[in-house]
């Protein structure tokens, strides 16, 4: 029997997304964010997370969400993407989801490969659909390099 896939579930708008639990280091409330000049519009800035400077991306903007509201439920998923710590603002981080591999299908054909290449599949869980995403593909190589330049070691 195949082992269940453990995902961290989070919401953007009305949709539930999932990323592998081993990529997520922690989930934190949204602290004060320091803006970075000339950053793309979806890069909110940087935060100091226990002495480490972490770039913060608004995943809602990255996914093209039209209505973005700041609420007390907003969270930052601190994830490791290609050996860089990145904070991802989401509407809410739900729970650890366990999805059986047999309940996961590939991305629907209607998603053009070039347009939504970060969707790796769709999982079915208790009547809900969970969109599985690849965080590294959400951030293209050049963007990750730019984020790396913004993230400098915190001053002691």
* Domains of the chain in sequence order: 5-150 (2.40.50.180)
Find out whether 129 and 16 touch, Cβ atoms under 8 Å: yes
Strands 43-49 vs 52-58: parallel, antiparallel or unpaired: antiparallel
Residue 54, pLDDT > 50, answer yes
Give the per-residue pLDDT at 70. Answer: 86
Give the per-residue pLDDT at 64. Answer: 81
Q: For 21-25, 48-52, 110-114, which range has the lowest pLDDT when averaged over its residues?
A: 110-114
Tokens 């603002």 belong to 89
Distance CA 28, CA 75 (A): 6
Residue 8, pLDDT > 90, answer yes
101 vs 142 pLDDT, higher one: 101
Q: How far is CA 85 from each of CA 14, 48, 96, 108, 120, rounded to the nearest angstrom?
A: 26, 12, 20, 30, 21
**pLDDT tens for each residue of 11-45:** 998 899 999 999 999 999 999 999 988 888 888 99
Give the per-residue pLDDT at 108. Answer: 73
């Amino acid at each position: 029997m195949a082992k269940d896939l453990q995902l961290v579930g989070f919401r953007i708008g009305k949709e539930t997304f999932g990323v592998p639990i081993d990529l997520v280091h922690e989930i934190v409330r949204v602290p004060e964010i320091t803006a970075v000049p000339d950053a793309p519009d979806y890069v909110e800035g940087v935060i100091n997370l226990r002495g480490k400077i972490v770039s913060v991306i608004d995943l809602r903007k990255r996914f093209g969400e039209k209505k973005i509201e700041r609420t007390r439920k907003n969270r930052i998923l601190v994830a490791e993407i290609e050996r860089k710590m990145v904070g991802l603002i989401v509407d809410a981080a739900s729970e650890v989801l366990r999805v059986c591999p047999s309940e996961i299908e590939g991305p629907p054909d209607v998603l053009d490969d070039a347009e939504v290449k970060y969707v790796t599949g769709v999982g079915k869980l208790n009547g809900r659909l969970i969109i599985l995403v690849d965080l590294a593909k959400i951030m293209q190589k050049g963007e990750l390099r730019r984020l790396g330049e913004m993230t400098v070691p915190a001053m002691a």
